[in-house]
Structure 1
Amino acid sequence: MKKSSALDRAYTWVRERILDGTLPGGSYIDEATVCQATGVSRTPAREAFNRLEGERFITLVPRKGAQVRSISSTDLLDAFHARLMIEQFAATEFCVERKAIPDAMRTNLEVMNGVCDFSTTDAMLVYINADREFHAAMVQTLNNRPIFEFFESLWRNNSGAAINRGQMLRSESWLATNHAQHRKILAGLEAYDLDAVVGTLREHLR
């Protein structure tokens, strides 16, 4: 087995169990358990833990292994408020300068519209990735690298919490509301209606 495939195998095994609730927030898992379950050696298991910690799924604890991060409503709210500031600024510049809609926004909106429920982890990950790409495309219209890097860090540092939030809010009614909000954001940008875009973003990022 190649090192890269061993890493992916260990990483995927742990991540899947975090996402499906087998490893709930606050629980611990060690390298030996991952090695036994996936057949990999300690090195890729350790690298998988490092990757998962970087994505804020877990926290490494000396002599205990890894602890699954608990969802913090404060952390999520802080991240969403920061995102609102960035995306509101991006929308303002977009409407004032009457920019063109990025193709990535339309493409990823179609991807999200194709997800009918979060009954599988794969569907959840497809949706959340398309969600990130949709919003990232709008922020990229600023052509401001420091702002975009900060936006990316908000997603990267809270990806685990965001996915767990998606898992909790997997109802069809929530998904339908989310679909509608993304469509309203795009429609508002197409019409250069800043008030409509900002109003929808405030509903969306809370």
Structure 2
Amino acid sequence: MSEIAENAENTTEKSKRPAKELVYDYVRRRILNGELQGGDFIEEKVVSEAVGVSRTPVREALHRLQGDHYITLTPRRGAVVRQITAKELTEVYESRRLIEIHAMERICREKRTVPPVLRVLYNQMCETSESQDFVQRAEYDQAFHRAIVATTDNAVLVELYDSLQVRQQRVAIAAMRVQPARAGTIDQEHKQLIEALERFDEEAAVQIISQHLRPVLDVVSRLPV
């Protein structure tokens, strides 16, 4: 496909999507990739001009972004990007441990089939260790751990886990930016986790995930309280 044809296709695809979704994705991506950081203000006028839409879908998108914990809307001050704090990072990991340890126990005790997608996502994450695309890595990581939780066939548990998605991704990206050298260690833990689940070794799986989801002091110490 030529560059002109590809651009035309992208433009057509963009035109099919509601304006508020375009704004949501635009702001969300800028927050995740670090262009907008905790404490930064988001101006409606700047966003509407950048995306090429009116102020109304911008306001609608900002309300959704607030509901998803990306920003805070304050009277007279407008939209402010939420800061990832050491406390939030610790609480996210604690919540994930509760859910994921339960999932490991169910998989091993009931000898549930480990989804093949885990190895696909593991390989994709290893590739991001080289490229240092932390946004894409966080998306693969979230999908990896969600696939494990989904193996329990507990829809309520998966829904609860999904409610952590935004915080989980932002925490993962923040942690990788602070300490990118940990990528290799994390990749190794993912590999060990797959192997433990495939042989239904509950003790090993729980031990690995408990270690995997412990906040690293060096990361926590560099985040605001």
With normalisation by structure 2, the TM-score equals 0.79
**Take 1:64 and 1:190, find their aligned partners in 2: how far apart are those partners?**
52
Paired-residue identity, %: 35
Q: In 1, Cα distance between the equivalents of 2:174 and 2:40?
A: 14
The total of aligned residue pairs comes to 201
Structure 2 residue 177 is the aligned partner of structure 1 residue 177: no
- CA 1:107–1:22 in structure 2 vs 1: closer, same or farther (change >3 Å)? closer
How many Å apart are 1:50 and its aligned residue?
Answer: 2.4
Question: Which of residues 138, 153, 156 in structure 2 aligns to 1:146?
Answer: 156
- Which shifted more, 155-164 or 62-71? 155-164
Match of 1:130 in 2: 140
Structure 2 distance, partners of 1:190, 1:13, is 39
| 1:11-90 paired onto structure 2 within 5 Å | 11-90=24-103
1:203 equivalent in alignment to 2:200: no
**Map of 1:96 onto structure 2:** 109
Q: How many angstroms does 1:8 deviate by?
A: 4.3
Question: For 1:177 and 1:61, how far apart are their aligned partners in 2?
Answer: 40
Amino acid at match of 2:120: T
Note closer, same or farther for the CA distance 1:17–1:148 as it changes in structure 2 (3 Å cut). closer
Q: 1:43 to 1:162 in 2, by over 3 A?
A: farther
Contact 2:41–2:80 under 8 Å retained in 1: yes
List runs of 5+ in structure 1 lacking aligned partners.
none
Aligned-pair distance for 1:56? 1.4
Q: TM-score, normalised by structure 1?
A: 0.86
Q: Deviations over 1:149-180 (max 9, x none)?
A: 111112235543443333333x2x21111111
Structure 2: distance between partners of 1:139 and 1:132:
11
What secondary structure sits across from 1:195 in the alignment? Answer: helix
